């Protein structure tokens, strides 16, 4: 169970550090570069310690891994940039809700069965995204009203 708690704390720290980096005005491209360099350095260190070198892998594995890894780096860059314009609480939720995409992809491309549980979850994800959008719209309206009343006072 300790491993699960450590995993939970690691993923949570990732979100908190992303916000702290934004507060400190760290550039998203620099954060992205360092995130991938340090992760890669660490994973290579672990692999070399376990296997004494780089294990061989088929070309197909590399051909799949490289573009999907690049997709993930685009996501981190967009997330870190989005923090300039939004809350970490709602931004972090929105990015995590993307778990729906591999599920939908598996249904479309690999004809996986869509059971009751997955259907409920996908519907709830849509509801959550709509609620986040509504929240953002409401906060926009509130700030516009504040600006309007401030300009009238002046």
Distance CA 151, CA 140 (A): 17
Our finding on whether 138 is near other proteins (CB under 8 A) is: yes
Q: Which string of x and - marks every residue 8-47 that binds other proteins (by CB under 8 A)? A: x-xxxxxxxxxxxx-xxxxx-xxxxxxxxxxxxxxxx-xx
Least CB distance to other proteins at residue 23 (A) = 7
Our finding on whether 105 is near other proteins (CB under 8 A) is: yes
Our finding on whether 52 is near other proteins (CB under 8 A) is: no
Tokens of 80: 């870190």
Distance CA 123, CA 100 (A): 10
Our finding on whether 114 is near other proteins (CB under 8 A) is: no
Distance CA 37, CA 31 (A): 10
Our finding on whether 149 is near other proteins (CB under 8 A) is: no
Q: With respect to other proteins, which residue has the nearer C-beta, 85 or 152?
A: 85
Q: What is the DSSP string of 116-132?
A: HHHHHHHHHHHHHHHHH
Our finding on whether 124 is near other proteins (CB under 8 A) is: yes
């Amino acid at each position: 169970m300790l491993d699960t708690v450590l995993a939970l704390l690691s993923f949570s720290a990732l979100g908190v550090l992303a916000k702290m980096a934004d507060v400190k005005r760290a550039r998203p491209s620099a954060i992205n570069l360092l995130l991938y360099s340090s992760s890669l350095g660490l994973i290579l260190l672990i692999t070399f310690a376990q296997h004494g070198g780089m294990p061989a892998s088929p070309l197909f594995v590399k051909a799949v891994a490289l573009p999907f890894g690049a997709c993930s780096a685009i996501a981190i860059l967009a997330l870190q940039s989005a923090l300039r314009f939004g809350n970490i609480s709602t931004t972090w939720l929105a990015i995590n809700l993307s778990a729906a995409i591999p599920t939908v992809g598996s249904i479309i491309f690999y004809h996986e069965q869509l059971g009751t549980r997955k259907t409920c979850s996908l519907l709830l994800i849509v509801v959550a995204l709509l609620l986040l959008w509504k929240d953002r719209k409401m906060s926009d309206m509130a700030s516009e009203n504040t600006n309007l009343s401030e300009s009238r006072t002046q």
